[in-house]
Structures are given as structure tokens and as C-alpha cells.
Amino acid sequence: MRALPFAAFAATLIVALPLGATTTAKHSVKSHVTVTASKCEFPAERTAFDIEGLKSQLMVTALACKEQDKYNAFMSRYQPDVMRTERDLVTYFKRSYGREAQKAYDEYITNLADIQEQDGLKSGNAFCANLPAMFDEVMALHSSSELHDFTNAKVIAQPVTFEACAEAPPPAPRKTRHATRAKHA
């Protein structure tokens, strides 16, 4: 297996575009923020990690095994679900890391791709002999609701370990409007 073109891979992975799509966004991680297991996640966030892991694994497979059309078909079918789970990931990182959320998120995405690429390199030729079948399995699902069950049934490498939160998720912040009063002279 050859080395992946990581710069193109990372940019596409982060913004969840189909392979071959272009973006003007530039992402760079200048400092390292470690995503630790001490942060807990709620069920929707865990689903988001699982689906992000699957999406990353499929992208690594597509690039390494020249299966871009299959990856694009996956993204075409599941993009609304992928985008929803990415919003849940952002919520997790904001809740867990505050002002460092973007750095932690970028590091997670980078480490996720890295660990999956390294697993592929360790597998050698067996990687492209076995993993492309995952595309067929995902596309055979009957609905997007089966996607999370699928990710739970697969062993997908993650750079983090997980701990479920004991309490309920915090309520969404309420948006309020502040009326401004005109100053009368």
C-alpha cells in the first residue's frame, strides 16, 4: 500500500466533501491539544464519534485502494447524517474544551486519519483486499438509522477512548433578544 496524499485527505475529511471536490479552506494544526478520555460523551456525541470514524475509515480506504467513486456514493447517500453528527462532535468539543475546542477537534480529526492510515500500512496488501467490502456493506443498509448500528458492529480505530456521561446533557442555550431603548433628549 502506498502512502496517502495526507494534505488532500485531511482537507476533504474535515469539511466532509466528496473526493474530488475542492475547497478554499485551509486547516493547520500548530499546537497539540490532547483529546483525553477524561471527557465524557452523551449518546448523540458517541454516535458522532462512531460515524466520523467510519467516514474517515472509508476515506482512507478510498484513497489507498482507488475507491473514490464508492466513497462519493457513500457521501451522497449519507451526507445529511454525516453533517448532523459532525455538529454533535462540535458540540462535544465546545463543551469539553471551551476556547480550545477547534484545536482539539482538528487534532482529533488528524489523529483519527493518522491511526487509520497506520493500521492500513501495517496491513499491507490485505488492507485493499479486505476493506473495500465495507463500502458494499454500508450501501446495503436500508436506512440511515442503521448506520450507527453498523458502526457499533465494526471495529473502527479511534485515537480516543470513551466514557459515557452520567448526567443528562445540558439544555441548549436559549436565545434572547435584548431590546435597545432609544434615548430621548
Q: What is the pLDDT of residues 93-150, one digit of tens each?
A: 998 899 999 999 999 999 999 988 888 788 777 888 888 888 999 999 988 788 888 8
Residue 37: pLDDT over 80: no
CA neighbor of 92 nearest in space, from 77, 78, 102, 79: 102
What is the C-alpha radius of gyration for the chain, rounded to an integer number of angstroms?
Answer: 19
Instruction: Name the pTM for this structure.
Output: 0.68
**Domain residue spans of the chain:** 46-162
- 50 vs 85: CA distance, rounded Å: 9
pLDDT at res. 153: 81
Q: How many residues does the chain have?
A: 185
Instruction: Give Dmax over CA atoms of the chain in angstroms.
Output: 80
Min mean pLDDT across 43-47, 125-129, 162-166 is at 162-166
